[in-house]
Amino acid sequence: MEQSRHGAPDVTLLYVRPEGAEETELDRRVGAIAERYAPWVSLKVVSPGELAGAGPDGGGLAATGSPAVLLLREGEVVGQAMGALLPARELDDAVRRAVEWPAPAAAS
């Protein structure tokens, strides 16, 4: 895995967690995985309400009330995982696949 061409991570791990919820095991898992992949991934934590106006995907996530992880590369979803009982292995696999996803070729 290579670090971004610009020095900043290429993948955003967007963690959607319910507002006002106490710290959960999933919070700890997401944090540990974001730390493990820190050279390639930046973590952004948002509430469902912050996604309500973000188009059909954001509004749908806001309505579920369940935690979700979206993996974005240049604003495009390249992976996702949902649910409070999400196993660490599944989350790690989703992040790894997003990081290893081929970056778009530079325009000639």
pTM of the model: 0.78
The CATH code belonging to domain 11-100 is 3.40.30.10
How confident is the model over 18-43, as pLDDT tens digits?
887 789 999 999 999 999 999 999 99
Chain-centroid distance, C-alpha 1: 18
How confident is the model over 51-108, as pLDDT tens digits?
766 555 554 555 567 899 999 998 899 999 988 888 999 999 999 999 987 765 555 5
User: What is the signed CA dihedral for 62, 20, 82, 9, rounded to 10 degrees?
Assistant: 90
Indicate the domain borders of the chain. 11-100
Cα angle, residue 59 at apex, residues 67 and 79 outer, rounded to 5°: 55
